[in-house]
Structure 1
Amino acid sequence: MPLRVALLVNPTAGGGRGQRLTAAVRDRLRAGGAHVDVLVGDDAAGAAELARQAVAGGVDALAALGGDGLVNLAATAVLGTGVPLAVVPAGTGNDAARMLGLADPLSAVDVVLHGRRRALDVGRVGGRVFVTVLSSGFDARVTERANALTWPRGAARYPLAVLAELRVFRPVPYDVVIDGVPLHLPAMLVAVGNSRSYGGGMLVCPDADPTDGLLDVTVLTPLPTARFLRLFPSVYRGRHVGRPEVRTFRARTVRLEAPAMTAYADGEPVGPLPVEVDVLPGALTVLAPQGPAPAGG
């Protein structure tokens, strides 16, 4: 019996890249012997409903062709069902794909056909889950700016959004509770990572492991603009950790509270703080490349 694949597509992902790739991805899956149903919702709620219906209908895999937001919808649909999630990157950041060691969308199709099953953790916040990172503070404001930019395409919009937000952002008083231990501290940002990166490869939680049953927390305390600009490039290599302005924790539960701050998870808005975050160990089944997992994946 052929592999039954539901291909969930965000046609607007990556500035229309999702739409441009749909036929090639579908045809490559079919050439590999799969039966493919292409699912395109009118909006996020419609896409989520189509994904739920496909999983309930007994597909063998749900493949998400898009960015991290679509991966989030697909992960929610398969969670706890045993149906594996496959990721075909076509978005702006593609950090969920990066976590799995996937870069090229057509190569990712081969993982849908021949990949191995892996169990990954997910974060949970406010009744929803996230696969990569939940952020609040400066980085969440940057995400808002980056999402509003029409140029440039792809991950290049994030550094521009950083520079724009840096002109106006001021440190925020946070109340953070790490596994029941309260902390009160001013901060530029607080990131809670199930995996290592967000924003198109920024390793904000460079030691995060989505199989360890824990969340990594990175806190950037206030620092002058010039020092921030020197520190920022090191985030892409994960070398900010260990700097005196950066504090890190590892936890099973995290509570964040700060005035007038919004939390983002997988690049999408969650809602205003306060938020309670915990981890669901091994709750998500994914299709991953054969061979050893990439670092942090």
Structure 2
Amino acid sequence: MTPEIDLLVNPRSGRGRAAVTAVRLKERLREAGADVRVLAGRSAADSRRLARLSAADRPDALVAVGGDGLVHQAVQAVVGTGVPLGVVPAGTGNDIARAVGRPGRSARDTAAAILAGRRRSLDAVRVRLEDGAERHFLSVLACGFDARVNERVNGFRFSVGRAGYLLGLLAELRSFTPADFTVEVDGRRIEEPGMLVAVGNTNAYGGGMRVCPDAVPDDGLLDVVFLRAAPTARFIRLFPLVFTGGHTGLDLVVVERGRRVAIRTEAGAAYADGERIGRPPLVCDVVPEAVEMLELTS
């Protein structure tokens, strides 16, 4: 049978790099005998709609060509369906691709890996908001300082790539103050002022910041990192440790692990996979083996 492959593309991702990557990948897949559809969303909501239409058609694979935000939209469609999801990184951070294995350098190698169909079952995380709305994510949910930075960066008039996060961080430091948090992990409670809380299914966000360095996406558990309130000067000194994962040994940091995480705070909106989820209170539940991920590593 002819393999049916859907390419979900954000043409603007990576300053147009995703569109070029998708064209090359489409050509290599067709040369190999696959039937290929290219689905280009005009917005996040449109990408999510196209991904759901694709999943309903049960292709041999849905491949997201873009950044973490596009993968997030694809996850909403494929979770629990068994439709294999491939990730070809062409965005800014690409943390999900980094966690599941980057594909080979050439479009030909990537096409061959897609058609080989090797799979790995990954956990997803279901987020339930107070109004009953639900979303799923694959990487990290964050609330507090880092989510506020994300919100600020998303408000920039133009994209400046990974440097945008650092610009947003410096801007947010001028006004951010610790907030009260109540975080429950399988019933164990953290209740005190803090800078941020991160719930990790994978270990990194923000383009390689290893906020939950020991998180594994197929162990049925969530890693939770809570940063206690700290003076701004100390926070600035310690924050770079997040790029190596060295922050988890500090007395300011509480690390927990569990299957359900509930968060209450007035610290602002939560972000997951780099996308705005909504304001707490919210509950995160791990959903074991909910996504069939294509292994595209060469």
- Give the structure-1-normalised TM-score: 0.92
Q: Greater shift after overlay, 223-232 or 136-145?
A: 223-232
Partner letter of residue 230 of structure 1? Answer: R
Say if 2:190 is the partner of 1:174.
no
1:203 aligns with 2:210: yes
Map residues 182-261 of structure 1 onto 2, 5 A cutoff: 182-261=189-268
Deviations 1:191-247 (A, max 9, x none): 000100000110000000011100000011122223222222221111111011111
Which residue does 1:295 correspond to in 2? Answer: none
Match of 2:295 in 1: 288
In the other structure, the counterpart of 2:115 is 113
After superposition, the CA RMSD in angstroms is 1.9
Shift of 1:37: 0.2
Q: CA deviation at 1:20?
A: 3.2
Aligned residue identity for 2:271: Y
TM-score, normalised relative to structure 2:
0.92
CA distance in 2, matches of 1:4, 1:180: 45
User: Structure 1 CA distance, aligned partners of 2:261 and 2:188?
Assistant: 9
Inter-partner Cα distance in structure 2 for 1:195 and 1:123? 11
Q: Are the aligned partners of 1:118 and 1:286 in contact in 2 as well (CA < 8 Å)?
A: yes
* Alignment match, 1:125: 127
Which is worse superposed, 206-215 or 100-109? Answer: 100-109
- Do structure 1's residue 270 and structure 2's residue 277 form an aligned pair? yes
Checking the alignment, whether the CA contact within 8 Å between 1:90 and 1:105 is kept in structure 2 is no
Write the deviation string for residues 70-102 of structure 1: whole angstroms up to 9, x where unpaired.
Answer: 111111211122110000111121111011121
More moved, 129-138 vs 16-25? 16-25
Give CA deviations for 1:162-207 in whole Å, capped at 9, x if unaligned.
1111111000110111111222111100000010000011000000
SS in 1 for 2:291: strand
Question: 2:131 corresponds to which residue?
Answer: none
Q: Compare 160-169 and 203-212 and name the one that shifted more.
A: 160-169
Percent of paired sites with the same residue: 51
User: Equivalent residue of 1:20, what SS?
Assistant: helix
Aligned 8 A contact 1:192 1:216 in 2: yes
1:84 aligns with 2:53: no
Quote the offset at 1:31 in angstroms.
Answer: 2.7
1:33 is aligned to 2:33: yes
The residue identity in structure 2 corresponding to 1:63 is V
Indicate the SS of the match to 1:188: strand
Matches within 5 A, 1:4-19: 4-19=4-19
- SS, match of residue 73 in structure 1: helix
Deviation of 1:105 after TM superposition, in Å, equals: 7.7
Indicate the SS of the match to 2:162: helix
Count residues in correspondence: 291
C-alpha deviations, 1:133-175, integer Å up to 9, x for none? Answer: 0000001011112223356633222122111111110001101
Asked if 2 retains the 8 angstrom alpha-carbon contact of 1:88 and 1:105, the reply is: no
Cα 1:132–1:168 change in 2 (3 A) is: same
Q: For 1:123, what is the secondary structure of its paired residue? A: strand
Amino acid of the structure 1 residue aligned with 2:97: A
Are residues 111 and 201 of structure 1, via their aligned partners in 2, closer, same or farther at CA, if it must alter by over 3 Å? farther
**1:48 alignment partner in structure 2:** 48
The one-letter code sitting in structure 2 at the alignment partner of 1:156 is A
Alpha-carbon separation, structure 2, partners of 1:105 and 1:71: 20
Asked whether the 8 Å contact 2:86–2:296 carries over to 1, the reply is no
One-letter amino acid of the structure 2 residue matched with residue 210 of structure 1:
P
Task: Kindly state the Cα deviation for residue 115 of structure 1 after the two structures are TM-superposed.
Answer: 5.0
2:106 and 2:165 map into 1 onto residues whose CA distance is 22
**Match of residue 294 from structure 1:** none
* Equivalent residues of 2:183, 2:189 under 8 A apart: yes
Could you say if the C-alpha distance between residues 83 and 189 of structure 1 is closer, same or farther in structure 2, counting changes exceeding 3 Å?
same
